[in-house]
Amino acid sequence: MPKVASRPSIATIQVQRFDGGLNLRDAPTEIASNETPDCMNVTLDERGGGEARLGIVKLNAGSLLPAAPMYLYYSTVADALLAYISADGGVGKLYKSADGGVTWSVAYSTFASGAQGAIIDFKNRVVVVNTLDGVYSFPSDLSSPTHTVGGSANMEEVRGSAIAVWQNKLWVTGDIREDATHSQARVWFSNAGNEQVWTVATAFVDLRDVDTKICTGIGAGAGMDVTGKPTLLVFKETSVYRMNDPATGAYTTLHPKGAGAASASAIAANLGRICSINREGIWVTDGLAVPIRVSDKLQPLFSSDGIDYANFAKWTAAPYRDRVCFNICREGATTPNLMLEYHPELGWTVPHTLSIGPMVPYTKQTTRLIGAAADASGEVYAMFTGGTDDGVAIPSRYQTPWVPLSDGDEARLRYLRAFGRGSVSAQLRIDFAAIGEDYELDFGQGFGFVWDTDLWDAGVWGEPAIEGNADTSLDQVCKHVSFMFSASTTNSTNRAALLGDGIAPEVGAWAIYGTKLDYIPLGT
C-alpha cells in the first residue's frame, strides 16, 4: 500500500518575559529571549511585563523660572524645593518653592554670575557652594547667609561644584582653579560639626595619583545623606576614589580608569547601590567595592556616534522608586534629550524621549520625582504622571526578540494570541526585515452584555476588563519572527484598587505581558 503522508501538526512558541531590557550591542540572533533590540518610552515590571511609561505634567505654568536651573534640591531644613540658577540678570540666584514646585520666588540673589553650584542640608542650616564665591550657610528661612570674606572662617576660599555630608563634616570638591595654591583635584573638608569653619591651609586632600583632572562629584548624589556610611566616594570623569579617614582625608583609588561621573548631578543612590554615569557608561558600586559597568548591552550608544562629548556637565541622575533615571545628551544635542531608566536590582535599562535637566525626589508627604526642563523655558515637571508629556502624545514601542521557528527551518504562521491591556498596533516582522504587516490588537474589551444596564450600539458591552487577550490569524511563511508593539497615546489608566478599597495605581495606556504564536513546521 502507498504510504500516506502525516498531517503537519501545529506547534506553539511563547515569549512571556520582557525583563532583560534594551540590547543594542548584540546581533539579532544573539539577543536573549527576555531582551529587546528596540524599545522607546516603555518601562518594565518585576515580572517581565512591558508597558507604556507615564508622562510629565508641568507644575509651574504661572511661575516659570528665569532660566534652566543647574541644580535642584529638596531641603527638609527649609521645607522647600530649591533651584540654583547660575545666571539671571547678571547674577546667580537661589530660588525656592514651598508648594512642591508650583510657585517660585527668589531666596538669594547676589551669587557671582556663571558659577556652578550645589546645595545640601547640614544640621539646621542650608549650605550652598559654588565655583566663584565659596560656601554660604543659610538659616532655615534662607535669610542673611553667613559668608565670611577674609575672616577666620575662610568660607570664600573653599570653592566647588559638588558637596556632601560625611562623618559630621562638609566635604566640597569641583574647584575650577588650578594654580600654585589651588588644585582642581582638591577635596576640602570643614571642621567637625561646623560648616562655617574651614582650616584651608591643611584641611584638604588632592587626588592626583591618577591624574590632575577636576573632581566632578562627591557622595551618593543630590539629597542623599551619607553621614552614616564608612566611606565617601569622590568622582572624576573617568576615575573613582574612596575616602577612608574623615580626620585626614586619606583615600584609596577605587577605579583608576573607566568608572566616574560626568557631573556633580550625574550620581544617584538607590537600593543600597551608588550609580553614576559618564562617557563610558553606567557604573554601580556599594561604596566599598570596585564599580562595575552595568551598561555593556548599550555600549554602541556610549560613543561619539551616540552621545555628545561636549556637554557632560549637563548630565543628571536621580532615584525614582526602585529605579535610577539618567538624563544625557545624544549626539548633536546641547542639552539632555534622552533619559535612561535603570533598575539596580534587575539590571535592565530602557530609554525615554524626555528632555529633562536636574531632578530631585520630593519627599514631603509624597515620593514624587520632580525635574526641570533641560532648555531655558524655566518649566518644572512632576515626572511619571498622566498620559502625555506636558500635553503632547507619547509614542511608545517595544520589539520582541527574534524567535527562530522549527529550528530555523521554514514554517507557516497560523495564529497570534497576545496578552496585555489597552490597544496597540502589532507589526509582524519576519526573517529580520525592518518592517512588516500591521495588526490592531485591543486587549481591554468587555466580556458580555449586561441586561438592563448596557445600551445597544453604545460602545463596549459589559464590564471593562483590567487585562485581556487579543487574537489574530496569520498566514506568512518564514524562519524567524519578531513583533513590534507600538502606540501613540494621550491617556493613562489605572490598575485595580489596592486591597479592594485603596488607591488605584496609575499606569501607562497599554501593556504587553506575553505572546503565544501557533505555526506549522514545513521542514527543511
- DSSP-derived letter for residue 194 is B
Whole-prediction pTM: 0.93
Confidence at residue 360, expressed as pLDDT on a 0 to 100 scale? 96
Place of cell 570623569: 237
- pLDDT above 70 covers a percentage of the chain that reads 92
pLDDT recorded at residue 231: 85
What pLDDT does residue 407 have? 87
Assign 405 to helix, strand or coil. Answer: coil
Q: What pLDDT does residue 153 have?
A: 77
* pLDDT over 70 (residue 177): yes
Q: What cell does 328 get?
A: 544625557
The sheet carrying 169-173 orders its strands as 162-166, 169-173, 186-189, 204-206
CA neighbor of 372 nearest in space, from 261, 222, 270, 488: 222
Contact 297, 23 (CB under 8 A): yes
Dihedral sign for Cα atoms in the order 177, 181, 186, 189: negative
pLDDT above 70 (res 455): no
Is the dihedral angle over the CA atoms 26, 27, 32, 38 positive or is it negative?
positive
Which residues on adjacent β-strands are paired with residue 202?
none
pLDDT for 85 equals: 97
Q: What is the pLDDT of residues 194-205, one digit of tens each?
A: 999 999 999 999
Same domain, 178 and 312: yes
Which pLDDT value is given to residue 113?
Answer: 95
Q: Which CATH number goes with the domain that contains 469?
A: 2.60.120
Tell me how far CA of residue 130 lies from CA of 108, 147, 155, 305, in angstroms: 13, 12, 11, 33
Where does the pLDDT of residue 454 fall: very low under 50, low under 70, confident under 90, or very high at 90 and above?
low
Beta strand 267-270 with 273-278: parallel, antiparallel or unpaired?
Answer: antiparallel
Asked if 368 and 460 sit in the same domain, the reply is no
Q: What is the reported pLDDT for 465?
A: 66
**φ, ψ at 296 (rounded to 5°):** -60, -35
Q: Which of 353, 385, 417 is the last residue of a domain?
A: 385
The answer on pLDDT for 284 being more than 60 is yes
| Shared-domain flag, residues 313 and 368 | yes
- Work out how many domains the chain is built from and give that number: 2
Asked if pLDDT for residue 230 goes beyond 60, the answer is: yes
Same domain, 303 and 287: yes
Which of 390, 367, 361, 380 lies closest to 95 in space, CA to CA?
Answer: 380
Domain range for residue 431? 11-52+396-523
Backbone φ, ψ for residue 28 (5° rounding): -55, -40
pLDDT in tens, 459-512: 555 555 678 899 999 999 999 999 999 999 999 998 888 898 888 889 999 999
Backbone angles phi, psi at 302, to 5 degrees: -85, 65
390 belongs to a structural domain: no
